[in-house]
Chain A
């Protein structure tokens, strides 16, 4: 071996000329490494491919003129963007390349932002300065955030856009879930604008729970909330029988009776038919869902599901709740319906019958010992129950769970992955939400019942909470419209709180979106109509299944509310007395009619003559002349979105003359007592026909 090496050395470096030659050759070869690397680089390969691709296209000349070889770079110092992605993704801006299926040559899909203003990595993550596929797309030790999978791309919109966008349904849903499903009760989420994400759900207080339900039900609920109601928000804490027994013992022992939250009405319960019809008339289903025989959930999601409510609540509590829910929970979203004794008895009888005999049949609890109660109290503290629920004697814990304000930038090195899981942040977050306890024994986060799509949405929303949302220039931020804390004043204000108007209606930027915005209701409607509507809320939109319920108002309550709405909720842009409610010339009315049925074809969506018109989308206008003010109709014709942003009635840019004629025609539609009944009878029937057809 040794001799071989020596002879090789002799051959190469035996004399100085030979040595010089060999060293020169080695030197030249090493000098050629850099140009060779450059010549065989990936981006050059892709650019050659691009040139070959465009050569055969009809618009080859244009594309070739646009093409410039070499490394391309988008440099935006204020966004800290140095993106060389366009070196390989050469056709990103070529409008004609939308039909190219092979990457990296396809045109970027249409988005509202410009490549030159934002670069690539602000939205897609990855390593912008890299010029090889692997380095740019995958994570490395030095660069932890790889390319964001397409399904989470909306998270990047959320870095600047703090409010919901029409084009980002997944991000919007994820943010709603974070606020609604209780996440932010335990996890603090601070937003870049300095605010903290607020929960939008309202878990019930447990301080008086023993008045409402039994210890057996609490036990069954703690063991498996979804066994009682499949739509329950409460997650499963996977408690052992003993732990559930002790927590239920503590909650019952800790509960104190509350004056007025139990009641036994003297009236007898009505029959099922009466209960069904009262449940329907009161539009309970607008907020509460019940699972029907076919297994479908029918009803809204504002209040809890009622499928098995009879197995949960005590009759005396239910009767007091139906009489006045605010006695038990002052903050409840449920309106105080002012039911009379007979109605309370009928409705409570109807709801008590909704039971599930299997739910509690296997629950047998002995009287609780003081040790069990003490252990239950410890468990309640350990699991952070008071983060969501008010529990007498237990303080709401601060920072019970890790803060998630910047979870979207969490370094992968700080994460512990499950075996078999791909080592990326999105997969970690999704995995944590899917089965939180799998990550290590002793973790407290409970098991939720999210669908796969909901987990993707939540992951999207969490990924948007990242360092970039802080480091991007504040001028780019698009703030959300904050919910105001508007409260109406005085006696009427108290009444509106009692009736929970804001659970469905929105006024001055506060309240729900189930029913119309009432901010300018006083300019819009006539006083007599409003008073009559409170007495007997008729059907304005026959196709809607959620409607205004009927409350048992006293006359003075109706006066109070009507006066307040007519006086306070007026638009500065519409003076309701500026146009008369009658006395328009017949010729103008006739012209309005022609415009209604001809030029503007309003009958496509509205009904003026219930015999001929069929439009189902807008409100029925047979009585519009006794409902709306002429000034409101005129202003609405001119620009509906100015009065109610987001309304789907198109703005037709009408001339003053057309708007005046249509106002004259519509205000002449006073309806008669008789036709009022007729139209009420006709519409709901045709609605049922529609559904049956489906």
Chain B
């Protein structure tokens, strides 16, 4: 009987081990054919996306050697807190020394730090940190309202479809990413200036009053958005989801 018991025990341990190992099983890493000295961001940092959804643009990183020329065939791995997905999670740099990955942020609003890493010739890890911003419902609504009402004056960047009015204004508005200035303003101040216009805080009348056009919850959503995109980050925007 003891024999049977021990055999059964061993079997169940083996089964358990098998089921656990299946979970952690992942595709083998591709073998690098070259090594770089530095890893830099080509595009895709500081993007906004709703929680859990894909970033609008893929993240592209480039591996360079000591002279700053691109290295094809180097292995790049992406990592972040759990909940963030990379497609693909790793890859070899292409002929222009770049790796492209599609990123979906986690289910919580906040800032996410992504790490792209490669190994140099002496097998030392070289890392690049990239920051992305996940918007919750209220912040995403604010993002939408910003595009409709605010962005044309507050964002100095023009696109082919939408020309910025920033340069046409005698007194320049603050871009919402300007954390140095906007983080110092309390929610009450921001509410006042959006509701009653610039003169409410002894500022320019070029900022009109929106209190009769936007609802109270719209204005709260806009403030939540402004807090979410501030750079340096605003304390009230919630935690930073970084890998420790």
Contacts and interface: CB of A to CB of B under 8 A. Distances in A.
Contacts of B148: 648
Q: Max chain B CB contacts within 10 Å: which of A169, A598, A616?
A: A616
Given A109-B137, A452-B54, A98 B238 contact: yes
A100 B144 CA distance: 26
Contacts, number: 121
Interface string B211-236: 11100010010001000000000011
A650 B165 contact: no
A112 B87 CA distance: 33
B169 to A, nearest CB: 6
A127 to B, nearest CB: 19
Contacts of B187: none
Contacts of A152: 52
Contacts of B169: 604, 614
A495 interface: no
B212 A453 contact: no
Contact of A617 (B153, B224, B235): B153
Given A616-B163, A616-B168, A651-B213, A453 B53 contact: yes
B141 A456 contact: no
Nearest to A687: B163
Interface stretch (B6-14, B62-70, B202-210): B202-210
Contact of A452 (B102, B136, B239): B102
Contacts of A617: 152-153, 165
Contacts of B141: 166-167
Contacts of A599: 205
Nearest to A607: B168
B241 A691 contact: no
A112 B217 contact: yes
A581 to B, nearest CB: 27
B36 interface: no
A383 interface: no
B212 A653 contact: yes
A452 B213 CA distance: 36
B88 interface: no
A652 B165 contact: no
A101 B113 CA distance: 14
Nearest to A647: B213
Interface in B11-25: none
Contacts of B137: 109-111, 167
Given A151-B104, A452-B87, A652-B212, A693 B158 contact: yes
Interface string A99-134: 111000010011110000000000000000000000
Nearest to A652: B209
Contacts of B152: 616-617
A526 B169 CA distance: 31
B216 to A, nearest CB: 12
A690 B208 contact: no
A540 B157 CA distance: 23
B165 A691 contact: no
A480 B1 CA distance: 71
A150 interface: yes
A614 B152 CA distance: 13
Interface in B131-155: 136-138, 140-141, 144-145, 148-149, 152-153
Contacts of B157: 694
A149 interface: yes
Interface in A650-679: 650-653
Nearest to B168: A614
The majority secondary structure among interface residues of chain A is loop
B107 A150 contact: yes
A453 B209 CA distance: 36
A150 B52 contact: yes
Given A150-B107, A653-B212, A616 B165 contact: yes
A543 interface: yes
Given A150-B106, A170-B50, A601 B158 contact: no
Interface string B152-196: 110001111111110111000000000000000000000000000
Nearest to A597: B205
Q: Max chain B CB contacts within 10 Å: which of A109, A111, A150, A152?
A: A150
A143 to B, nearest CB: 21
Q: Max chain A CB contacts within 10 Å: which of B106, B149, B168, B220?
A: B168
B30 interface: no
A153 interface: yes
Given A1-B1, A600-B205, A110 B224 contact: yes
A641 interface: yes
Interface in B104-136: 104, 106-110, 136
Contacts of B164: 690
A614 B212 CA distance: 25
Contact of A149 (B52, B159, B238): B52
Contact of A650 (B51, B163, B168, B210): B210
Contacts of A169: 50, 140, 144
A151 B141 CA distance: 16
Contacts of B149: 648
A693 B157 CA distance: 9
Nearest to A109: B136
Contacts of B210: 650
B53 A605 contact: no
A101 B239 contact: yes
Contact of A99 (B159, B206, B209, B238): B238
B223 to A, nearest CB: 11
A615 interface: yes
A651 B239 CA distance: 37
Contacts of A111: 137-138
Nearest to A646: B148
Nearest to B210: A650
Given A153-B52, A690-B164, A598 B205 contact: yes
A467 B177 CA distance: 43
A277 to B, nearest CB: 20
B232 to A, nearest CB: 16
A605 B145 CA distance: 18
Nearest to A102: B239
Nearest to B83: A150
A653 B208 CA distance: 11
A603 B217 CA distance: 28
A415 interface: no
A632 B9 CA distance: 87
A274 interface: no
Given A112-B217, A166-B144, A615 B52 contact: no
Contacts of A149: 52, 107
Interface string B88-106: 0000000000000010101
Contacts of A452: 54, 87, 102
Contacts of B87: 452
A616 B165 CA distance: 6
A452 B51 CA distance: 16
A110 to B, nearest CB: 4
A135 B148 CA distance: 43
Contacts of B168: 604, 614-616
Contact of B138 (A100, A110, A615): A110
Nearest to B142: A167
A545 interface: yes
B208 A650 contact: yes
Given A614-B168, A687-B163, A650 B212 contact: yes
A439 B1 CA distance: 48
Interface of A: 1, 98-101, 106, 109-112, 149-153, 166-167, 169-170, 452-453, 456, 543, 545, 598-601, 603-605, 614-617, 641, 648, 650-653, 687, 690-691, 693-694
19 contacts: A1-B1, A98-B238, A109-B109, A149-B52, A151-B50, A151-B53, A167-B137, A169-B140, A169-B144, A452-B87, A456-B53, A601-B204, A601-B205, A604-B169, A605-B165, A641-B213, A650-B209, A690-B163, A694-B160
9 A-B pairs with least C-beta separation? A150-B52, A150-B107, A151-B52, A614-B168, A109-B136, A651-B212, A101-B239, A110-B138, A167-B141
Given A98-B238, A111-B138, A604-B153, 20 more contacts: A99-B238, A101-B110, A101-B239, A101-B241, A109-B136, A151-B50, A151-B51, A545-B160, A600-B205, A601-B205, A614-B168, A614-B169, A650-B210, A650-B212, A652-B209, A653-B212, A687-B163, A690-B164, A690-B167, A691-B160
